Structures are given as C-alpha cells and as structure tokens.
A and B are shown apart, each in its own frame.
Chain A
Amino acid sequence: MSRNTIESSKTVTSKKRDGIFAPSSLFGYFMMLPAMSVLVFFFAYPLTYEVWTSLTNKTLGNDAKFVGIQNYIALFSDPEFITAARNSVVYVSFVQGGKFILGLGIAILLHQKLVARGFWRAVVLVPYAMPGFVAFMVWKLIYNPDVGALNIFLTKTGITDAPIAFLGDRTWAMASVIFATIWRGFPFWAIMFLAALQAVPKELYEAAAVDGANAWHRFRNISLPGIRPVILIVFMLSTINTINSFEAIWLTTAGGPSDATVILPVFAYRGLAAFQIGESAAAALSMVPVAIVIAIFLLNKLKKD
C-alpha cells in the first residue's frame, strides 16, 4: 500500500516536470508542429493510402475493391517483376561496390601531401554538383553508337571495328548504366572518407611508424578502423539513394533493352503509367523490407553515438 503511494506520487511529480501540458513541452510541440504536419500529410497518409491501395484492385477511374494479397501474389508470379527485383540487386551491389573502391582510393589519394589539395577536391566534387538529370543525359550521349565519345574513341583507335550500342545491347546495357551511376555518386563517398581520414589522430601513425609498421599495416590497423563508422553510415545513406535511382535508368535506357535494366522504381512507374495503381503500389512497397533493415541499423548506430 505504502509502496503504491510512493510510486504514484513519483509519477505525479515527473508528469508535472515533463508532462504533455508542461509549458516547456507545449513549446516543444509548437516548434515540431510544422515539420510534423508535413510528415502526416505527405508521408504517413500517403504511406497508409499506399498500403491500402496495394490490397485493392484500383485502376484509374475505377473504384477500389478489396482483394487481399492478390496483387502481391500476382506480382511474385510476374516474370517482369522478378527481373526488376533481380536487376535491382545487381545494380545496387555493383554501384555500391564501385563507389566504395573509387571513393576510398581517391580519398586516400587526396589525403596525401598535395599541392593545391583544395583544387583537386573541388575537381572530384564536379559530378556530384552536376544535376543528376544532366549527368545521365550526358552519359547517354557518350554511349551513343553514332555520335558518342566512347564509340568515336574506340573506333578511331581501332579497339573495335564497328560502334557498340552500349545502352541498346543486352550484354552492355547494365554495365554501362552502373558505370554512369558510379561516376555521378562516388564524390560523396570520397569526400566523406577524406574527412574521416583527416580526423584520425596523427599520433597513432607516428607511434606505429616508430614500431616499424609499414604503409599497408598502418592503413589496415589504423586508418581502416578509424573510418569504419563513416564507411557504414555513408554506405547506408548511399544505398537508399541508389535503390531510389529512377532517373539514372529512366533517362538512359528507360529499362530496356527488353527489360535488361528495369529496376523496381522503373517497374512501379511503368505500372502507374499503365494505370495499374493497386499492383504498382504493391511493387513500390516491395522495396520496404530493404529500407527497414537499413533504417534499424542506422537508428541503432545513431543511438550508440
């Protein structure tokens, strides 16, 4: 009985201090209100609406009728969706692998003693500063069989006899799109890695040098562990962006030739354009599991810091 009283009095005082209606709390909610309104109307509501729609047979102009998980069943037996899902995995894996290698290599290069380091860093930032839609139109041009720079170079130097339709040929299309996406995205990685390398305490290197560690050992045992947290965060953020890269595909190949480069956002967009709203909602939602895994990871990481 007495224990109960103590507990309840404790909750009363703590409620007084930071309860919902305490003056400081009210001010907090007031400051959060605009951002939260945006999220309610343009994030939570559309997301709920999408989950509902994915469970109906909604098409344009037709009323939605509840059909349960029928869209999902149809989706997983649709060969085009399976292709899109598989392409997404290939595309994201190779793009992220490429950005990691290029980003880390260039960060290490920029971390050396350099004349005009600021200039070189600015050069590396160019693809990132260029609007994505411009970058991918330029790459579409570079790959063009008639007027593209790559084919002019390859035929003039005699490496190939006839021009290659890099974006129109099933063997080349995916690799070409991946390469262009790496070009546009690696600067973010390089700049983040460079900052992380610069934040590793210099004394650690000096101590290791005294102990006779060679360059590889210093990199392996000091640099790499030092920048590990940044590698993980950059990897997560960039993966979300890459899963999302509709424009990279839409502007270059639009998913072709014969679905060789269709990824999930392109598949969902085609569905919407064909007014299959219920089904394409289900397709878009199939990206959620990946996003959830990444979100949980990042939230835990941020909590620890």
Chain B
Amino acid sequence: MQRTNIKFSIFKYAMLSLVAIFVLFPVYYMITLSLRSQSSLWSKSTLLPVDSNLDNYRAAFENTDFKRSLLNSVIVCGTATLIAVLFSVMAAYALTILKFKGRDTLGRVIIIAFLTPGALLFIPLAVIMANVGLSNSLQGLILVYLSFMVPLGTYLLIGFFRSLPAELEEAARIDGASRMQALWMVLLPLVAPGLVSVAIITFTGAYNELLYSLVINISPEMRTVPVAILNLSVADEVPWGRTMAFSTIAALPVMALYFAGQRFVVEGLQTGSVKG
C-alpha cells in the first residue's frame, strides 16, 4: 500500500511538471527572444537565453505609435469597463430581484446576445459606425465593445445575485429601506466580489479584442495594442525580437491583473457557468 502511494505521488508530480513545462515554455521563449536582436536570432539557434539586452524594450518605449496604442487600449477598455459594470449591475439586479412583466423575455434576450459570436456582427457594425461617423474614433470602439461586454457582465452578475438569499432584499425593505437603499447598502456589498470579477473579465476581454478593432479603427493613431503588434510585421517579415518585447509589455500588466484577482476571476467563471 505504502509503496503504491509513493509511486503514485511520483507519477502525480511528474505529470504536473510536464504540464508546467507545456504551459510555461511559450512564456519563457517569448521573454528570452524579446531580449535578443534579429541578427542574434539568425546566427545562434538555441533555446537558451543568449545575447540578452534591453534594446527591443528601449525601442518600444521610444516608439510613439506603440505608446499611443497602449494609451488607446487603456482609455477604451477602462471606459467601456466602467460603463459595462454599471449597466450590467442594473440589469442583473432587475432580472433577479425585481418582478415585472416581460422579465423572463428580457433575460432571454440578454442570454441570446451573450451567446452570439462577435464574428457575426463585425460587418454591420463596421458599416454602421462608418455611416454615423464614429469609425476611427475611440468613442466608436467603446460603444461597439459594450455590445459584448454588457451581455457578458449581466450574465455573470445574474449568477452572483442569484446566490444571495432571496429574503435578503425583502428583509431590508421591511426594515424601512427603499429599493435603492436596499440595493446600495445591502445587496451591492455582498456582490462586490462579482463586481471585481466582472470588471477583470470584461476588461481583459476588451483588451484582447482584435477583429472589431481591426475593422473599425483603421488609422494608425487610433490603433489598439493587438492591431499595433500585428502591424509590426511588414508583409511576411516579422521582427521577432521587437514583436516579443512589445508583446511582453502588452501582456504583463494584464496577466498581473489576472493573477492579482485570480480568486475573483475563478469565482466569476464558476458562478457564471455553474450556477448561471
């Protein structure tokens, strides 16, 4: 018995180590290549970190277009996240706590919008945005991003509101609180983890978005980060060191945010898909 346990332990940790290599190697390779020049890549083919220097990072911070695209991404995703969280809380609250005619239908509409692939709507959205003069603008991109962030946020928050005891709101009302007071002082503090989780999930969703940004913001000064990185390549020629340095800069803050809020993110995904 003891021996099989030890064997099983070795097996477990060996498998976990394989998984860790599988998962972490691309990150390792991204970072080591971001520290190398194009000529070093061609002259020395090795998986080890050699010829490391910070030139590619210096190039990134001297590149005004890239800095501009980072700023664009922060403005678009930050603003859209604030709006999306506000709208989603209102809708999720109404759909779970309030009773009104047509509630189930509206709830179904939210879920249908949540389940609609973004690739379905990029054509009409691009044409409509051009027609109303909002293409090539950060405002236009914010509005378009709300189209997937609000249904996603509402869907996730419905799960959080549903996990609250049903009598909670009624009890607060009996104690003399108005609906708004009950929402603000009793319900919202309890769904606070949900708000953090929705903020992180919708923010990263918008930050990672490529297709809408590609078709709606065409001019270089309105690019977001994914499009800027795509545009580092000229024809089939990819400046790998530079692309990896820019990618590392683009990825690290978001990954840090993700891991700082890991507890909330995991809880949000589980509440959304399990209790949904």
A residues whose Cβ falls under 8 Å from a Cβ of B: 18-20, 22, 24-25, 27-29, 31-32, 34-36, 38-39, 41-43, 45-47, 49-50, 53, 106, 109, 112, 114, 120, 122-135, 137-142, 144, 146-147, 149, 152-153, 155-156, 183, 188, 191-192, 195-196, 199, 229-230, 233-234, 237, 240-241, 243-244, 246-247, 250-251, 264-265, 268-269, 272, 277, 280-281, 284-285, 287-288, 291, 294-295, 298-299, 302, 305
| Residues of B with C-beta under 8 A to A45 | 124, 128
CA of A272 to CA of B212, assembled, Å: 12
CA of A275 to CA of B146, assembled, Å: 26
The secondary-structure label for the interface of chain B is helix
Query: How many A-B Cβ pairs are below 8 Å?
Result: 281
> Are B118 and A244 in contact (CB-based, < 8 A)?
yes
| Interface check B59, CB cutoff 8 A | no
Q: How far is the CB of A54 from chain B (nearest CB, A)?
A: 9
> Are B86 and A34 in contact (CB-based, < 8 A)?
yes
B residues whose Cβ falls under 8 Å from a Cβ of A: 12, 15-16, 19-20, 22-27, 29-30, 33, 41-42, 45-47, 86-88, 90-91, 93-95, 98-103, 106, 108-113, 115-128, 143-144, 146-147, 150-151, 154, 179, 204, 207-208, 210-211, 214-215, 225-226, 229-230, 238, 240, 243-244, 247-248, 250-251, 254-255, 258-259, 262, 266, 269-270, 273-276
Given known A36-B106, A243-B119, A284-B123, contact A126–B24 (CB-CB < 8 A): yes
> Are B45 and A272 in contact (CB-based, < 8 A)?
no
CA of A301 to CA of B127, assembled, Å: 36
Q: How far is the CB of A164 from chain B (nearest CB, A)?
A: 14
CA of A128 to CA of B265, assembled, Å: 11
Subset of 25 A-B contacts with CB under 8 Å: A24-B100, A35-B88, A35-B150, A36-B109, A39-B110, A46-B125, A49-B128, A112-B12, A122-B259, A123-B24, A130-B27, A133-B208, A135-B26, A138-B27, A141-B29, A146-B42, A147-B42, A152-B45, A156-B45, A183-B22, A183-B26, A230-B273, A243-B117, A265-B119, A268-B123
Q: How far is the CB of A136 from chain B (nearest CB, A)?
A: 9
Given known A126-B24, A247-B226, contact A192–B269 (CB-CB < 8 A): yes
The residue in chain B whose Cβ has the minimal distance to the Cβ of A301 is B276
Taking a contact as CB atoms closer than 8 A, the residue among B110, B119, B226 that contacts A268 in the complex is: B119
Given known A38-B150, A123-B20, A123-B23, contact A302–B276 (CB-CB < 8 A): yes
The residue in chain B whose Cβ has the minimal distance to the Cβ of A195 is B270
Taking a contact as CB atoms closer than 8 A, the residue among B24, B204, B229 that contacts A137 in the complex is: B229
CA of A120 to CA of B112, assembled, Å: 35
Other than the given A49-B124, A114-B12, 19 more pairs (CB < 8 A) read: A20-B101, A27-B100, A32-B91, A34-B87, A35-B150, A39-B113, A43-B113, A47-B120, A47-B121, A49-B127, A53-B127, A120-B20, A137-B229, A137-B247, A138-B244, A141-B33, A265-B211, A281-B123, A299-B108
Given known A39-B150, A240-B117, A250-B210, contact A129–B255 (CB-CB < 8 A): yes
The residue in chain B whose Cβ has the minimal distance to the Cβ of A302 is B276
| Residues of B with C-beta under 8 A to A122 | 259, 262
Taking a contact as CB atoms closer than 8 A, the residue among A42, A130, A153, A285 that contacts B147 in the complex is: A42
> Are B210 and A133 in contact (CB-based, < 8 A)?
yes
CA of A144 to CA of B19, assembled, Å: 23
> Are A287 and B91 in contact (CB-based, < 8 A)?
no
CA of A269 to CA of B212, assembled, Å: 10
> Are B94 and A32 in contact (CB-based, < 8 A)?
yes
> Are B226 and A233 in contact (CB-based, < 8 A)?
no
CA of A285 to CA of B122, assembled, Å: 11
CA of A20 to CA of B101, assembled, Å: 6
| Residues of A with C-beta under 8 A to B15 | 109
| Residues of B with C-beta under 8 A to A146 | 41-42
Taking a contact as CB atoms closer than 8 A, the residue among A28, A191, A264 that contacts B99 in the complex is: A28
> Are A109 and B119 in contact (CB-based, < 8 A)?
no
> Are B120 and A109 in contact (CB-based, < 8 A)?
no
